[in-house]
Chain A
Amino acid sequence: MAVVFQKTKGLTDKETHYCPGCTHGIIHRLVAEVLEELDILGETIGVAPVGCSVLAYDYFNCDMQEAAHGRAPAVATGIKRSLPDKIVFTYQGDGDLASIGAGEIVHVAHRAEKITTIFVNNAIYGMTGGQMAPTTLIGQKATTAPLGRDSSTTGFPLKISEMLATIQGAVFVERVTVHNPAAIRKAKKAIKRAFEVQIAGQGFGIVEVLSTCPTNWGMTPIKALGWLEDNMIPYYPLGNLRTPEEAK
């Protein structure tokens, strides 16, 4: 019998703790498949964030290090500078990366560290129960923005990829989404490209993945996918913002 689908070797057998319909799981699978396809699982060290994906160190089937909230890019720097021939990636949420860790992500790009960041933007703080993130959309409700995010008191959602694309050392920047199968295929391509850029030693690469949080958005998984498409994509346009060729 032909094998139609096989679980990637890039993930352990541990059952994930993600809520039903949460797209963290899909993003994990894409990263894991890429590591397997590039045959770098044994050469990779991943850095887990603080956020819903804090237990990523139990799920990725490679050596892992768990970072303090927001500090994954600094931890990854320490690893990569000690093991320059290895592949190092960070997996971070938007509270982790765009808020408390905004400094670290800017400077990992600024130093052109040869690491790869998977940035999961679900426009909210998932783990702590749905507080406002820097990426929360105007009007979007959060437990610390009960009437919806109001720009007069909280400013405007941060476009991390656009910001990082202005930094010379960030040689691969792309925003993708995982709300339908076609989008997932594209997302995987971008993730693969970002790792290839690291393997080629070209500089820092980041893939921003728009993701759902049905639990804290207060929606069914299906509705959440639609909300992402209708609200997040218009504000966070998909596409490549930088490739090593352009960065030259």
Chain B
Amino acid sequence: MKIAVLSGKGGTGKTFVSVNLAFSAGNCMYIDCDVEEPNGHIFFKPQITDSHDITVDIPLIDSSKCTGCRLCVNFCKFNALAYIKGHVEVFDDICHSCGGCSLLCPEEAISERKKSIGKIQSGISGNVTVVTGILNPGEESGVPIIKELLNGKNDGDIFIDSPPGSSCTVMESIRDADYCILVAEPTIFGMHNLKMVLELVNIFKKPHGVVINKTQGEFPALKEFLSGNDIEVLMDIPYDNELGKINSMGLIAADEILEYRVLFSSLLKKVYKEAGHV
């Protein structure tokens, strides 16, 4: 069973929820798909057992074969190619590796070379397998890394720490999820961000529930909105000074404090039940 944890923006406690859930479940896999800022490993401190580069194909132009017909330049809808002083120039960081230009070139002047865009690290932390995707700074899209992260992972319980927001990397991370947990802050902005993520999980028809984090004071509009739309509130995480400290030290709350162990065990049970886990 695959359970994805999402949030409309960073810093809402998405990693906190997914790490503590995976820890509470045990004998499972935690996959960090927040490839631009993967933080889960800070808490799990896994012993790394494997690390490998993820590459994409970037066109390589053989100038001796190129006749300058510009078919490739005009074809590329991402404008990653330019024709300058008799040569085709490739702009790596805009290229989406669609492979179209090399198929199209009538002179077969375009082949492909591999470019590393990041890596995947796997490791073990207690009885949790921790898999982390890391996108190199400056790279545009983490989608190829997320695809590879989730590829062939079908056995047992898998907790996915999705990227924040509602972009194409988020879609990729929930594609095969059985259930989505949406982490939201009880503020106007938090509600706005939540609505964007809700739209996404609805498009993909994923069963989902909401965890409200940092319940400092009340924001009744959020709960009214959720109950009005028949959206399950799975858990409220109360505001707690101690928790901030635990997090900043890179410790797992459910491991350190009994109260959180209980909180996350019950969240886990609820999610399993909602998702029809047997």
To the question of whether A and B form a pair in one complex, the answer is no
